[in-house]
């Protein structure tokens, strides 16, 4: 009964919710969310600088998340690059002095807070010609006005950044009197026009007063209450906003410090001054407000304008637009012709005859335009998510629960969709799809949760990436060894399916090929496997069965391959020279060099070889009937199976213990290429030795495994954000619901792209050799044109 209910439940779900209906629902969600975000930005404004300066929340205890955008964590070198030849001035009381010290520590962390407490404090970094001054003006009065006025005079050099704020001294000195508040309003009214004048050529920030922790205040400060502070802040905001209405320039109100202080002021040492972590956050916000539009960091979306369209992006936009128009025209013509032939009435008998053509013929051109039409709409969504400033983005924040709870949930779903396999061979197609599927889902959770900061998780994810490459070695070796098919068609089919989406994204998202590092990695390894087996002498299973010496010839080839891998892994110079030659350099350079490519290749350099060797040994054992692959049968004899199973479990757990005890990522990465195969082989044996385990698979994981490549690539832009540095926010304010909706759309898009790629592969890579040659010439022409326009684009940028 339980099994019947289980099967019936799955059928019920599949009946009412198909992939087609899911995609329709995803399309509706995208259109609705796009309209909502566009309307929100139209009526509420889309200036992320205002959000950065005024709103946000804490992720955990110390990580500040601005509303709707990502904040970059600036390093000292970056701060110097941004502020080179700049003059920054902080004017105010002891709270502004705190902010001043946190700001200059972003430039030079060695600075100590040793300046005069109630006096001016200069700072200068001569290497970058940066000047940062603190001017002691604890009250908004005539003295402060005079100092600000001096900068408005033409002969005096104006600071590039001015940060002003004061009020608590006025409350303290005048014992919180209403007269002092009235005088404060008069003084700030006289200063506001001067600040507006400075804001024409400088960045001017007015820092609102942070709340205090009244229980901790000393007796001399008891009159500084949060009620008084709110009154002073309201006066400042009202007067500054009133002044800005009459001026094109605008003084930026730094009100986010209040929100930060509300969460952290109880950690203050005296109830008045913020703890160090809070003022450091304020300084980082200031740095983001000013520097993001200059340095344009990938993970700093706050205050960054939308990047202009490149020449290649404009051409791509025109191409997709023409494809959509062309498809609509051809569809209308075919539909009209179909309607004319649909019903032919026999005038004599009054009966309807079946039309000569019952369904409209779909030409190759129409199928091609249909694919590009769908692809164009999908690429529009990609661009809106990660290049336009339409949807919001947030920083990642790792907690153990954010990683492990989704993993448990996914595993439960995978077990729920368990079915019998069609065949019970080791690493059969259903099993490898299942393997790819659950690994891809774990990797997705790893990326969105920011779990790379937790070293044990990072090391296990490295094994999953290695396992993908292991399957590359195993699968392609098995195909060439068994089939002996070294034709151009096979090579072109594989390379097209691997690279099509990435090439399109490189064009639409303006990213280098190496940015999507995994696709170059598997493409190069495929070509290495092909070259190893295709060069003379071509040794395949059919030839080796006739003479056992050919097996030794193949082993010799594998030894030569291993020697080359070993040499290149310890000869970075040679490796970089090989891939620095044109046109390879255009594919494998990132940020002007091929170091990233060398690092990625070196990290899993042996695992493809291990996959090839495993395939060779397994196929040899299978050929000599040394393993049993019948349904329900253990792979070896009971004694051997039990021993191997025990060794596999111990090896699997030993690796996990070692990976969990890693203390240094660099040292563990050095060992990873040699030891990752231990856990991979252990998993394969555990999964395949027991016959009953080998005879079942999870259709849930296998479904995702069939689109694992598309999932891995699409996550860069429509699930994560800022090129994987952040998280896409479609529904702000509801993190869990946002992840569910964005995940649903993301999976539907990846599945559709997989179908588009398969359809285009049949058209672009035909089996006929003469037609294939013509297509290859067209592809060569396409890449030549792409290179030409890329050169023009680079020249215009410089």
For the chain, how long is the longest CA-to-CA vector? 110
Pairing of strands 344-345, 352-353: antiparallel
The catalytically annotated residue of 21, 242, 270, 674 is 270
**What is the rounded CA–CA span in Å between residue 371 and residue 320?**
10
What six digits make up the tokens of 415? 């077990």
The catalytically annotated residue of 37, 87, 273, 672 is 273
The number of helix segments (H) and strand segments (E) in the chain equals: 31, 15
What six digits make up the tokens of 690? 């027991």
The catalytically annotated residue of 94, 247, 651, 656 is 94
**What is the rounded CA–CA span in Å between residue 169 and residue 175?**
9
What six digits make up the tokens of 361? 């013929």
* Cβ within 8 Å of residue 186, ≥6 positions away: none
Residue pair 56/65 in contact (Cβ under 8 Å)? The answer is yes
Which runs of consecutive H residues, i.e. helices, occur in 45-135?
A: 48-54, 76-83, 94-107
Which of 366, 376, 358, 356 has its CA nearest to residue 332?
Answer: 366
Residue pair 284/270 in contact (Cβ under 8 Å)? The answer is no
The values of phi and psi at residue 636, to 5°, are -125, -175
**What is the rounded CA–CA span in Å between residue 301 and residue 293?**
9
- Tell me the DSSP string of 519-532: HHHHHHHHHHHHHH
**Long-range Cβ contacts of 478-482 (<8 Å, 24+ apart):** 478/615, 478/619, 480/529, 480/530, 480/533, 480/534, 480/540, 481/533, 481/540, 481/541, 481/615, 481/616, 481/619, 482/540, 482/541, 482/619
Residue pair 654/660 in contact (Cβ under 8 Å)? The answer is no
Q: Would residue 717 show up in a list of annotated catalytic residues for this protein?
A: no
Q: Would residue 624 show up in a list of annotated catalytic residues for this protein?
A: no
Which of 243, 266, 175, 251 has its CA nearest to residue 207?
Answer: 251
**What is the rounded CA–CA span in Å between residue 431 and residue 433?**
5
**Long-range Cβ contacts of 29-35 (<8 Å, 24+ apart):** 29/741, 29/744, 29/745, 30/381, 30/745, 33/391, 33/730, 33/731, 33/741, 34/384, 34/390
Rounded to 10 degrees, the C-alpha dihedral 552/556/562/565 comes to -150
Q: Would residue 270 show up in a list of annotated catalytic residues for this protein?
A: yes
The residues assigned a catalytic role are 94, 270, 273
């Amino acid at each position: 009964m339980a099994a019947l209910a289980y099967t019936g439940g799955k059928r019920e779900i599949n009946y009412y919710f198909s992939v087609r209906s899911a995609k329709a629902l995803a399309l509706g969600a995208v259109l609705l969310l796009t309209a909502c975000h566009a309307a929100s930005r139209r009526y509420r404004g889309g200036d992320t600088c205002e959000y950065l300066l005024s709103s946000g929340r804490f992720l955990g205890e110390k990580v500040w998340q601005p509303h709707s955008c990502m904040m970059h964590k600036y390093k000292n070198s970056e701060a110097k690059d941004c502020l080179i030849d700049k003059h920054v001035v902080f004017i105010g009381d002891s709270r502004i002095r705190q902010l001043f010290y946190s700001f200059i520590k972003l430039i030079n962390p060695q600075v100590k807070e040793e300046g005069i407490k109630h006096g001016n404090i200069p700072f200068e970094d001569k290497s970058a010609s940066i000047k940062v001054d603190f001017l002691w003006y604890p009250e908004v009065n005539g003295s402060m006005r005079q100092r600000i006025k001096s900068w408005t005079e033409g002969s005096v050099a104006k600071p590039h950044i001015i940060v002003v704020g004061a009020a608590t001294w006025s409350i303290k000195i005048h014992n919180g009197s209403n007269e002092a508040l009235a005088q404060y309003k008069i003084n700030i009214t006289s200063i506001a026009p001067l600040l507006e004048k400075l804001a024409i050529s400088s960045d001017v920030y007015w820092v609102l007063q942070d709340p205090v922790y009244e229980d901790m205040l000393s007796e001399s400060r008891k009159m500084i209450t949060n009620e008084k502070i709110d009154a002073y802040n309201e006066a400042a905001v009202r007067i500054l906003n009133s002044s800005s209405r009459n001026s094109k320039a605008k003084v930026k109100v730094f009100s986010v410090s209040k929100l930060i202080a509300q969460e952290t002021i109880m950690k203050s040492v005296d109830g008045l001054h913020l703890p160090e972590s809070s003022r450091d956050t304020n300084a980082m916000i200031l740095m983001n407000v000013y520097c993001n539009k200059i340095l344009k960091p990938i993970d700093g979306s706050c205050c960054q304008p939308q990047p202009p369209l490149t020449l290649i992006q404009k051409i791509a936009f025109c191409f997709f637009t023409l494809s959509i128009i062309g498809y609509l025209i051809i569809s209308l013509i075919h539909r009209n012709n179909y309607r004319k032939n649909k019903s032919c009435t026999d005038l004599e008998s009054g009966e309807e005859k079946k039309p000569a053509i019952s369904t409209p013929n779909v030409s190759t051109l129409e199928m091609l335009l249909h694919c590009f039409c769908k692809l164009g709409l999908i690429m529009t969504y990609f661009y809106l998510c990660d290049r336009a400033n339409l949807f919001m983005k947030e920083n990642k924040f790792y907690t153990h629960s954010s990683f492990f709870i989704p993993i448990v949930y996914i595993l439960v779903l995978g077990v729920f969709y368990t079915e019998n396999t069609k065949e019970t061979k080791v690493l059969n197609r259903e099993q490898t799809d299942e393997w790819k599927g659950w690994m891809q889902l774990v990797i997705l959770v790893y990326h969105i949760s920011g779990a790379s900061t937790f070293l044990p998780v990072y090391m296990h994810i490295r094994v999953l990436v290695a396992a993908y490459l292991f399957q590359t070695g195993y699968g392609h070796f098995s195909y060439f060894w068994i089939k002996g098919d070294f034709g151009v068609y096979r090579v072109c089919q594989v390379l097209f399916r691997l690279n099509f989406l990435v090439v399109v994204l490189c064009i639409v998202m303006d990213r280098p090929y190496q940015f999507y590092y995994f696709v170059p990695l598997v493409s190069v390894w495929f070509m290495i496997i092909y070259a190893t087996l295709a060069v003379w002498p071509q040794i395949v299973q059919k030839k080796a069965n006739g003479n056992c010496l050919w097996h030794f010839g193949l082993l010799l080839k594998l030894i030569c391959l291993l020697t080359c891998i070993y040499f290149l892994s310890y000869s970075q110079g040679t490796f970089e020279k090989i891939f620095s030659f044109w046109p390879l350099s255009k594919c494998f350079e990132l940020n002007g060099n091929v170091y990233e490519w060398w690092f990625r290749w070196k990290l899993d350099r042996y695992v493809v070889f291990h996959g090839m060797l495993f395939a060779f040994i397994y196929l040899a054992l299978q050929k000599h009937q040394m393993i049993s692959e019948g349904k329900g049968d253990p792979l070896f004899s009971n004694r051997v199976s039990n021993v191997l199973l025990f060794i596999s479990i111990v090896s699997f757990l030993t690796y996990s213990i070692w990976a969990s005890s890693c203390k240094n990522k660099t040292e563990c990465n050095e060992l990873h290429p040699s030891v990752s195969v231990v856990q991979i082989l252990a998993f394969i044996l555990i999964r395949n030795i027991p016959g009953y385990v080998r005879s079942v698979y999870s259709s849930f994981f296998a479904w995702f495994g069939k689109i694992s490549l598309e999932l891995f690539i699409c996550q860069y832009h429509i699930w994560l954000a800022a090129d994987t540095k952040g998280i896409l926010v479609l529904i702000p304010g509801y993190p869990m619901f946002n992840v569910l909706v964005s995940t649903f759309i993301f999976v539907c898009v990846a599945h559709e792209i997989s179908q588009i790629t398969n359809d285009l592969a049949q058209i672009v890579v035909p089996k006929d050799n003469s037609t294939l040659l013509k297509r290859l010439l067209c592809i060569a022409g396409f890449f030549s044109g792409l290179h030409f326009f890329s050169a023009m684009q680079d020249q215009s940028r410089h």
